[in-house]
Amino acid sequence: MKTVAIIQASMGSRRLPNKTMADICGKSMLARVVERARRARLVDEVIVATTTRYDDDAIVFWCSANGVPCYRCGVYLRPGKGDLPGRRNII
């Protein structure tokens, strides 16, 4: 059996816009979370899940440049909010 860590990421925060790609001591928050997930002994693969919104393109570009599989889903349950749990169920 394969264990997959799914990192749910979005750029659409109202309180801290673009927090996913925010620089924290030279690395983005996403880079740090992916790095930590890859270190987990029981995780075989790390995938980033995001929306099809244009502002989440930065996440997809980062994943592509860093060899991290990225899954996009355009499922929305609430106006203006991405359905993060819904993306997890579709993967």
pLDDT digit string (tens) for 4-62? Answer: 999 999 998 788 888 999 999 999 999 999 999 999 999 999 999 998 999 999 999 99
Say what the pLDDT of residue 85 is. 58
Phi-psi category of residue 18: left, alpha or beta, with phi > 0 → left and psi -120 to 50 → alpha:
left
* pTM of the full structure: 0.79
Say what the pLDDT of residue 36 is. 97
Region 65-85: mean pLDDT is 71
- H and E: helices and strands count for the chain: 3, 5
Confidence band of 90 (pLDDT split at 50, 70, 90): low
Question: Around Cβ 63, how many Cβ atoms within 10 Å?
Answer: 22
